[in-house]
A and B are shown apart, each in its own frame.
Chain A
């Protein structure tokens, strides 16, 4: 057994986290910054932070992930990291020549109280920031929230710095993306286009973390939201933030700074969340919903009805980030599965309320928890107590899946051992079909592998 010390006896814990269902802020800030064109993320802390985040993102995408570090040593930790960051800004513009440096802090620089804004101003005053180049920042203490918080903070930092309100309103909609894959961001743009809505998507990691093999290395690939696009967000008609955890603060910032009204929707995962998103998008763009969208929706519902017998009543354990798993759990309920265990390490009171609203009536036996000690160890203990038919979550779920012989679908961050997430979206109606395909594939492979010979089916 891989997780041989896990038993069903749940003991209350108040201090120990085991097998976390979250990681820390800076990796989210790095990911968000990669979705800006010509931007080099910079980690203001020890080298390890930057190395770990780059490694995780690289393993997840199998793509170059470029970022620099302030390389703190003991001296910087005692006397402050100002000298390191000033030197870093100089080094980066000299050698790597980005349009933007996006600095995020770490637990180290936050604990010693480095003031990023002040240091960056000093860098500007000292002429270390070439004309027309930008240094933006976000405070991302690792001991608050989770990786999702870091993503949200950097996204807020991005729009705060760039978005500008002029007198000319633009007939466009801001799409603030929650933490989804490059494939999903590409899909969001496709959907907007299909609806004839001019949209600015931020961040946008498509064409950054899914680049083609060309024999050339582009340090700043062609993708990413551009500076003019970011600036123009201040003149948009409306902002739609997908995922309250990841996008609310940026949407509020845009409203406060540029008076662009906003609506927060779920990330459009599955049927109901996509329905709401499409309606919100149509309202925001003042367009009617085209037939092609109806057709995509129809295809998704068709697959659900076709395959309903394999889904109905199946018990599922889900772990991941609130913005992603709230609509996913809702989708599982929509297709008559039973998400009985739901866990997220990311704190936030809204999680429990949303879960209750989705699950109380249809899956009253469901257990869910987020925040401190809501970890994969706890979820595994619940599974030991009363098993499930399917696990959905990031790659770390494979250890539970193998020990308990439970089918497993990889969704979330990080996925370290499979490809596909960069290329095939799981959002929108078409993405819903892909989720179904993955769930059905896992369940039916298991049926095929375990069925008695006489009941082994050709057609299913």
Chain B
């Protein structure tokens, strides 16, 4: 384990740690894992292996394709019945377990508090489940009268050959509401990521573009890949509203299918979580000519930068002035809190292994507090999320990726926006970057250890080596890490706290770090007598 002084001139070299981790693996496993562990050097391009199969038997953080499709992308949308076709568990586990907050008006529909399932039984597996699925859709319609129903396939569905898309077509015709299916069986991909892609395709094909609503504002935008965990989207929505930017639709947090239907009338798409949603951004640009930019509202500086970038795009004096006013006001508030928290936490060590964007985004907040990120990685990202979009043309398309449909998208002449294409070209000429995601690795320090799909064994060794002050991951890792005496902050659920997005969120996060890093409770783990010499001997009481 490196000593404090080894951190003075940058981070210590973790080559020995990497070697030690690999030593325990069977040779083939070691060979594979070595490619997913990179000792970072922001000055040098290095290839990391990502989005490949997890080795069977490895205790991984990853979930399945269904989880990515139903849980992540469609789950946070309140005015649709998300019907899970399969045995009961898949629906049960995705029932309210992600903290996608939503704020319907009193008279609005909200099905997010419900779990809907066909609860497949053995006879459905043997004889097919299509008839039961149809009947379940009828019953759901009869009882709840929703305007849309999504059907989510679980593992057995694809295997027994139930055609959810045909059922969706039939039932759409029968009931006259929008019904569509997703072939998001758990095994479709190597992680949740495949499910994100499938969900993007389904929403783009079946929802986006259904409603040509007239313009509602001068600056119309969509926010993609913001799931409103702990109210993050509320924070961002407030900023836009104040700035006079009309947020048409969020994919998908505090979101509605209704708003997704007119998302194609936006002037700009902002991509928050690149991994889970860049597909829709790309497809909307191809079909409608709407350009997209990468934004990040995690971190006060990053939020300011993102707001300014949006203002720069619209190039409107009033908007720019308003954005500057907001940034100045909010940054002053943020700074006041940072000034009190930073001295208490500066120089501490953090590591984070989570998601497809958060392990990158949250580094902003740690940097603002002077906390150093020694190691990080994603659970289900691809190479471009580490190395930047410039590597996309070089990414090998393997069998698992080929499973997922690539939609053929063509220009929609009636709705295409040549004005936006022109605007984009002009801005690009002046150095404004679109599709600008450079990935995690260029932002990380030299000698930081970047690990894709980190597993339990690696986690233990990382903690042993770095003795970090804080570890960020998810619920499955939380108590493992804490038993080792290291506080863990969940970056999926935020430990039921938040919001952490935008300026107000940054303040919340600083306070949270103060709570977690300044507590004395970890010093109380050992009983006071543990370090006392044991009293040996006996006393004889004389009568």
Contact = CB atoms under 8 A, between A and B. Distances in A.
A142 B89 contact: yes
Contact of A48 (B66, B95, B111): B66
Contacts of B83: 16
Contacts of A68: 57-59
A63 B479 contact: yes
Given A75-B399, A144-B121, A217-B480, A106 B26 contact: no
B480 A108 contact: no
Contact of A215 (B54, B94, B526): B526
Given A71-B56, A72-B187, A20 B92 contact: yes
Interface in A68-118: 68-77, 84-85, 87-92, 94-96, 106-108, 111-112
A362 B261 CA distance: 56
B485 interface: yes
B90 to A, nearest CB: 8
B11 interface: no
Contacts of B125: 107, 111, 141, 143
Interface in A19-36: 19-20, 22-27
Interface string B113-139: 111111111101100000011111011
B117 A17 contact: yes
B178 interface: no
B338 interface: no
A95 B457 contact: yes
Given A47-B62, A51-B476, A111-B156, A372 B53 contact: no
Interface string A1-41: 01111000001011111111011111100000000000000
B484 A46 contact: no
B481 to A, nearest CB: 8
Interface residues of B, number: 90
B485 to A, nearest CB: 4
The residue in A146, A217, A218, A345 that gathers the most chain B C-beta atoms within 10 A of its C-beta is: A217
B24 interface: yes
A313 interface: no
Contact of B93 (A15, A23, A144): A23
A22 B93 CA distance: 11
A165 interface: no
Contact of A108 (B134, B136, B186, B460): B186
Contacts of B54: 47, 69, 71
Interface stretch (B188-196, B355-363, B497-505): B188-196
Interface stretch (A54-62, A248-256, A273-281, A385-393): A54-62
A85 to B, nearest CB: 7
Given A5-B109, A66-B59, A23 B64 contact: no
B139 A15 contact: yes
B139 A91 contact: no
Given A46-B64, A48-B67, A90 B95 contact: no
Contacts of B66: 46, 48
B139 A13 contact: yes
Given A20-B88, A94-B25, A217-B483, A74 B154 contact: no
Interface stretch (B140-148, B297-305, B320-328): B140-148
A55 B57 contact: no
Given A55-B475, A215-B485, A91 B58 contact: yes
Given A16-B139, A47-B191, A88-B57, A216 B64 contact: no
A241 interface: no
Contacts of B93: 23, 52-53, 55-56
A74 B478 contact: no
B400 A74 contact: yes
A45 B155 contact: yes
Interface string B387-429: 0000000000001100100000000000000000000000000
Nearest to B111: A5
B114 A108 contact: no
B538 to A, nearest CB: 29
A71 B119 CA distance: 23
A396 interface: yes
B113 A18 contact: no
A399 interface: yes
A331 to B, nearest CB: 27
A3 B116 CA distance: 13
A318 interface: no
Contact of B190 (A5, A59, A73, A143): A73
Contact of B97 (A18, A55, A75): A55
B9 to A, nearest CB: 30
A146 B88 contact: yes
A89 B57 contact: yes
Contacts of B25: 94-95
Nearest to A40: B59
A51 B142 contact: no
A302 B15 CA distance: 67
A95 B24 contact: yes
Given A15-B139, A68-B58, A107-B155, A142 B526 contact: no
Contacts of A16: 83, 116-118, 135-136, 139-140, 143
A94 B24 CA distance: 7
A20 B114 CA distance: 9
A24 B186 CA distance: 15
Contacts of B95: 19-20, 396
A195 B154 CA distance: 49
Contacts of B121: 143-144, 372
Contact of A143 (B65, B97, B124, B479): B124
Nearest to B64: A48
Contacts of A144: 121-122
A399 B110 CA distance: 13
Nearest to A108: B155
Interface in B145-165: 154-156, 158-160
B29 interface: yes
B487 to A, nearest CB: 12
Contacts of A142: 86-89
B216 interface: no
Contacts of A14: 135, 139
Nearest to A7: B143
Nearest to A373: B119
B317 interface: no
Given A63-B479, A64-B483, A91-B29, A71 B58 contact: yes
B519 to A, nearest CB: 13
Given A11-B142, A87-B55, A108-B156, A26 B89 contact: yes
Contacts of B94: 52
A167 B478 CA distance: 48
B525 to A, nearest CB: 5
B347 interface: no
Contacts of B476: 51, 54-55, 58, 65
B91 interface: yes
A172 interface: no
Contact of A74 (B24, B156, B399): B399
Given A51-B63, A71-B56, A94-B25, A112 B159 contact: yes
A272 interface: no
A159 interface: no
Contacts of B132: 15
Contact of A20 (B96, B115, B139, B186): B115
Nearest to A26: B89
Given A64-B479, A64-B480, A143-B87, A372 B155 contact: no
B158 to A, nearest CB: 8
A320 B29 CA distance: 43
10 contacts: A18-B117, A20-B92, A23-B92, A25-B89, A52-B63, A54-B476, A70-B57, A213-B482, A214-B525, A217-B484
The 10 closest A-B pairs by CB, nearest first: A48-B64, A24-B89, A91-B57, A88-B57, A46-B186, A15-B135, A142-B87, A52-B93, A108-B155, A88-B56
Given A15-B133, A91-B26, A143-B122, 6 more contacts: A25-B89, A51-B62, A68-B57, A70-B56, A73-B188, A216-B484
